[in-house]
């Protein structure tokens, strides 16, 4: 499959293995320590999320609040970086700034879910200032946010579909009329959503016919990994980085 829009982000032979939050199953999600574990395991694509602090710093963190996985509390958007930086994941690991990740792991390509509208412009400014366009794919559940990012940054920014884009592609795969954004490079989707099968052969054919890769999240058992790779997906995101590596090694596609 040759994508219509061959962004440098996709320059990788064979299926792409993504470490979801660096490998969230290990209990240290979105920390430098966990990202380093993924890199040392051979991962070159890592999924993470960003929020902005009250004073505009971009933090790599999934939740809007600190409460679930840190010893801190409160909404990141309401707190200054000086306070957020005191929080610890699993009692010991600090939250990283996204800029720190770009510097610490220069060979990693990042799949970034921009979690809030307030984070979008600081994120694009950072990617521009560091000239990291080839290393970033921006995603969001908000189609409007992704479209705005694409409009602001142009084709140098790789983007995936938001929820609306995925729905429209699913409709097109069923032969129904729906508008499909042409500027995305990938559909990043769950295999099943709300009891509806998203990823099947028709969905893959519809995506590939439009030059889109299909990356599936979050896949944690080897049977599902094998099934999806047999189907022909272009990438898998997992919390269990050792499991996905073994599956891909067994298939001879680990690079």
What digits encode the pLDDT tens for the residues 26-37?
A: 999 999 999 999
pLDDT for 119 equals: 98
What the block records as the tokens of 226 is 């094998």
Using alpha carbons only, what angle is made at residue 115 by residues 113 and 119, rounded to the nearest 5 degrees? 105
pLDDT recorded at residue 6: 82
Given the residues 20, 51, 215, 240, the one annotated as active site: 20
226 noted as active-site residue:
no
Q: Which of 241, 253, 247 is nearest to 225 (CA)?
A: 247
The CA distance from 143 to 98, in Å, is 22
Contacts of 101 (CB under 8 A, 6+ apart): 32, 35, 48, 60, 108, 110
Domains defined for the chain, CATH in brackets: 11-65+97-250 (3.20.20.190)
| pLDDT attached to residue 166 | 97
At 150 the three-state DSSP class reads helix
Q: What is the largest CA-CA distance in the chain?
A: 52
DSSP 28: -
What stretches in the chain show pLDDT beneath 70? 1-5
62 is annotated as an active-site residue: yes
Q: Of 7, 12, 51, 62, which is the active-site residue?
A: 62
Residue 91 pLDDT: 86
Its pTM surpasses 0.75:
yes
- HSE, CB side, 13 Å, CA atoms: give it for residue 200: 10
Q: Are strands 213-217 and 186-190 parallel, antiparallel or unpaired?
A: parallel
pLDDT of residue 153: 98
For 46-63, write each residue's pLDDT tens digit. Answer: 999 999 999 999 999 999
pLDDT in the model for residue 80: 99
Percentage of the chain beyond pLDDT 90 is 96
Q: At what angle do helices 163-173 and 201-209 cross, to 10 degrees?
A: 100
């Amino acid at each position: 499959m040759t994508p219509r829009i061959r962004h440098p982000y996709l320059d990788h032979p064979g299926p792409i293995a993504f470490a979801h939050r660096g490998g969230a199953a290990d209990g240290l999600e979105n920390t430098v320590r966990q990202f380093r574990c993924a890199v040392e395991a051979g991962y070159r694509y890592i999924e993470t999320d960003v929020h902005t602090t009250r004073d505009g710093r971009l933090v790599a963190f999934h939740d809007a609040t600190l409460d679930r996985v840190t010893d801190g509390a409160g909404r990141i958007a309401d707190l200054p970086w000086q306070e957020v930086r005191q929080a610890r994941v699993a009692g010991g690991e600090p939250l990283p700034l996204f800029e720190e990740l770009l510097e610490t792991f220069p060979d990693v390509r990042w799949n970034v879910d921009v979690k809030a509208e307030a984070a979008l412009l600081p994120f694009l400014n950072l990617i521009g200032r560091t000239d990291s366009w080839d290393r970033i794919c921006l995603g969001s559940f908000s189609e409007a946010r992704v479209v705005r990012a694409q409009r602001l940054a142009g084709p140098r920014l790789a983007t995936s579909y938001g929820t609306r884009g995925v729905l429209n592609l699913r409709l097109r795969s069923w032969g129904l009329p729906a508008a499909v954004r042409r500027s995305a490079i990938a559909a990043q989707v769950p295999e099943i959503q709300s009891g509806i099968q998203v990823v099947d052969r028709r969905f893959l054919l519809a995506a590939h016919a439009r030059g889109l890769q299909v990356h599936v999240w979050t896949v944690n058992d080897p049977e599902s990994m094998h099934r999806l790779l047999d189907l022909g997906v272009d990438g898998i995101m997992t919390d269990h980085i050792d499991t996905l590596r073994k599956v891909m090694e067994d298939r001879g596609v680990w690079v």
